[in-house]
Amino acid sequence: MKVLFLSPLCPSVSLSLPPAMLAAKRQDGGLFKGPPYPGYPFIMIPDLTSPYLPNGSLSPTARTYLQMKWPLLDVQAGSLQSRQALKDARSPSPAHIVSNKVPVVQHPHHVHPLTPLITYSNEHFTPGNPPPHLPADVDPKTGIPRPPHPPDISPYYPLSPGTVGQIPHPLGWLVPQQGQPVYPITTGGFRHPYPTALTVNASMSSFSLKTSFPFNLLWGKLHEPTTQLHSFLTHTIPSMHSFLSSRFPPHMVPPHHSLHTTGIPHPAIVTPTVKQESSQSDVGSLHSSKHQDSKKEEEKKKPHIKKPLNAFMLYMKEMRAKVVAECTLKESAAINQILGRRWHALSREEQAKYYELARKERQLHMQLYPGWSARDNYVGSYGKKKKRKRDKQPGETNEHSECFLNPCLSLPPITDANTPKKCRALFGLDRQSLWCKPCRRKKKCVRYIQGEGSCVSPPSSDGSLLDSPPSSPNMLASPPRDSKPQTEQTQPLSLTLKPDPLAHLSLMPPPSSLVLTETAASKPSALSATNCQNGALDHQPATLQPSAAPSSSLAQPSTSSLHSHNSLAGTQPQPLSLVTKSLE
């Protein structure tokens, strides 16, 4: 189990600590020293969520917080490094539109997407030293054994470029210091210095405080002497495991041994070889590679620092489990489509939260890996080739098929012949100069959308439809939309209009008998989608936009559009574009 704290003093800082560490830290007078912060923010149980979490066995989606108190996340603009600041200025981040302070607390989904977020702001930290305590190996306080590590950090603490020597111990990141990396730079073998009590799978996202497990008890324990805490951890945590086991399917409850194997590696670091591997193997690799001297080895095992998650990714991470649960759909491609749709259906406020989170993610990432560049992860640098070849023949583009699938209501089924074509289909690859911008960028075809008979715009009735961004710039501060150059603005727009096969699925109550039957069968995912449509997704409005209702002031079309959609749905029989796509 990992406990995540949001420092009340430094709201922007959230710390993810294993209990043992917490105990230690507490005693050391670390964060917990001094007057108790009025209501520690919250405890997150479990934190598997780290977007950077390398271990594939743990579903990152599950984020359950024991909310003690939710301070506003506050990223101090002043603390931003100029680089980021500049970028932010241009970024879609709502930051400049929306206040820096984002009440993450009230995340509608009760799941905080910011798990991995460890503050970017150092301000509230004692600039001093990271608590000198805690040699990484063994927690002196708890006595909980940790895998030994070599004197020289290098193999296990591969430092990010330019950070050499800056990170004395794994806890470094817990005590961010100005200009210093905050995360422990772990490497190839993720160390698992601290026991982890619980790991819960993605589907655990529903595992909230509402459950009967006495998380508050755990919380209480955190204020007790370390020994008691330790005792609690060793006795109660197993109970938690039992609790989970009794409550959730086995596959959702990680093996108990994970208690001692899970560490808190920085999520963003993944070594090529260990990526997705279990913690056990990590430990093993630790020993095996122990004396590997060669720099080759080092380079070879050079940790892969992942890109920080963007807003949508964060959203996906959080919502995926829910969608999976609702739809009994597992195929990511299909799920992502649904999520993409939902994303656009989110209110600006909702999206703003994710943008803000993403912004903080980037900031944190930047602090952690000052020299890191996205370029580092480009093909070649990470070993295996990840190149995608998505280019398709001019005629068969996805986009086209998308339209085809398009549920665009009130529009005749878009088949090839008499339907307007997107730029790609219209002009072909060799005449890209004639394409509209979005098409050239592989975005939704504006021309097509705006054109007549486009799959897009269902007439005004729902034209405002779903996610259509407010026409007025003042409407809401959704950075991506308002603050961005035209291209960006168009995108949302087009997206809004974008015919989405799944749109129906996700946004409206399915007309019971959608065309699904025809298209669906072809693919499992399609079927799933269908199920979804009939099932969970209808509820989406409720679950998806809990906050939407209150946000009426924002003049959010999305919510209302949802309703309007229904009618459309009835009229439009072209639902499962998703399916169609795959059909091709």
Partner DNA sequence: CGGCCTTTGAAGGCG
Partner DNA sequence: CGCCTTCAAAGGCCG
- Site residues (CB under 7 A) for DNA, limited to 107-166: none
Q: Can you spell out the DSSP letters for 157-215? A: SPPPTT-TTT--SGGGGGS--TTS--S----SSPP--S-------GGGGG--TTSSS-H
Q: Does 101 bind DNA (CB under 7 A)?
A: no
Q: Does 96 bind DNA (CB under 7 A)?
A: no
Q: Does 374 bind DNA (CB under 7 A)?
A: yes
Instruction: Mark the segment that binds DNA (CB under 7 A) among 104-112, 247-255, 328-336, 507-515.
Output: 328-336
- Residues that bind DNA (rule: CB under 7 A) add up to a total of 73
- Site residues (CB under 7 A) for DNA, limited to 158-217: 202
Residue 558: Cβ-neighbour burial (10 angstroms; 0-12, 13-18, 19+): buried
Instruction: Mark the segment that binds DNA (CB under 7 A) among 49-57, 63-71, 210-218, 558-566.
Output: 49-57
Bridge partners, residue 3, by sequence: 17
Q: Whose CA is closest to 2, among 190, 195, 193, 172?
A: 195
Instruction: Give CA–CA dist 202/318, Å, rounded.
Output: 9
Pick the closer one to DNA by CB: 60 or 172.
Answer: 60
For DNA, the binding residue among 27, 93, 115, 561 (CB under 7 A) is: 93
Residue pair 376/472 in contact (Cβ under 8 Å)? The answer is: no
Q: C-beta of 122: minimal distance to DNA in Å?
A: 19
For DNA, the binding residue among 480, 509, 510, 557 (CB under 7 A) is: 480
Pick the closer one to DNA by CB: 353 or 498.
Answer: 498
Q: Does 492 bind DNA (CB under 7 A)?
A: yes
Q: Does 28 bind DNA (CB under 7 A)?
A: no
Cis peptide before 46 (omega within 30 of 0): yes
- Site residues (CB under 7 A) for DNA, limited to 51-90: 51-53, 56, 59-61, 84, 87
367 SS3 class: helix
Pick the closer one to DNA by CB: 296 or 384.
Answer: 384
Q: Whose CA is closest to 516, among 498, 531, 500?
A: 531
Pick the closer one to DNA by CB: 51 or 71.
Answer: 51
- Site residues (CB under 7 A) for DNA, limited to 393-412: 398, 402
Q: Does 247 bind DNA (CB under 7 A)?
A: no
For DNA, the binding residue among 19, 46, 92, 265 (CB under 7 A) is: 92
Q: C-beta of 265: minimal distance to DNA in Å?
A: 12
Instruction: Give CA–CA dist 19/126, Å, rounded.
Output: 22
Residue pair 305/376 in contact (Cβ under 8 Å)? The answer is: yes
Q: Does 340 bind DNA (CB under 7 A)?
A: yes
For DNA, the binding residue among 495, 532, 544, 554 (CB under 7 A) is: 495
Pick the closer one to DNA by CB: 421 or 481.
Answer: 481
Q: C-beta of 57: minimal distance to DNA in Å?
A: 9
Residue 506: Cβ-neighbour burial (10 angstroms; 0-12, 13-18, 19+): buried
| DSSP 3-state percent helix, strand, coil across the chain (nearest 5) | 45, 5, 50
Q: C-beta of 42: minimal distance to DNA in Å?
A: 21
Q: Whose CA is closest to 290, among 178, 460, 151?
A: 151
Q: Does 524 bind DNA (CB under 7 A)?
A: yes
Bridge partners, residue 305, by sequence: 269
Q: Does 266 bind DNA (CB under 7 A)?
A: no
Q: C-beta of 97: minimal distance to DNA in Å?
A: 12
Instruction: Give CA–CA dist 43/64, Å, rounded.
Output: 8
For DNA, the binding residue among 410, 432, 552, 571 (CB under 7 A) is: 432
Q: C-beta of 426: minimal distance to DNA in Å?
A: 15
For DNA, the binding residue among 133, 247, 440, 563 (CB under 7 A) is: 440
Residue 417 per-residue DSSP state: T
- Site residues (CB under 7 A) for DNA, limited to 286-325: 304, 306-307, 309-313, 316-317, 320, 324
Q: Does 506 bind DNA (CB under 7 A)?
A: no
Instruction: Give CA–CA dist 464/555, Å, rounded.
Output: 11
Q: Does 265 bind DNA (CB under 7 A)?
A: no
For DNA, the binding residue among 109, 344, 348, 447 (CB under 7 A) is: 344
Pick the closer one to DNA by CB: 241 or 306.
Answer: 306
Q: Does 333 bind DNA (CB under 7 A)?
A: yes
For DNA, the binding residue among 109, 146, 149, 362 (CB under 7 A) is: 362
Pick the closer one to DNA by CB: 230 or 523.
Answer: 523
Residue pair 145/296 in contact (Cβ under 8 Å)? The answer is: no
Q: Can you spell out the DSSP letters for 446-513? A: HHHHHSTT-SS---HHHHTTTTPPPSSTTS---HHHHTS-HHHHHHHHHHHHS--HHHHHHHSPPPSS
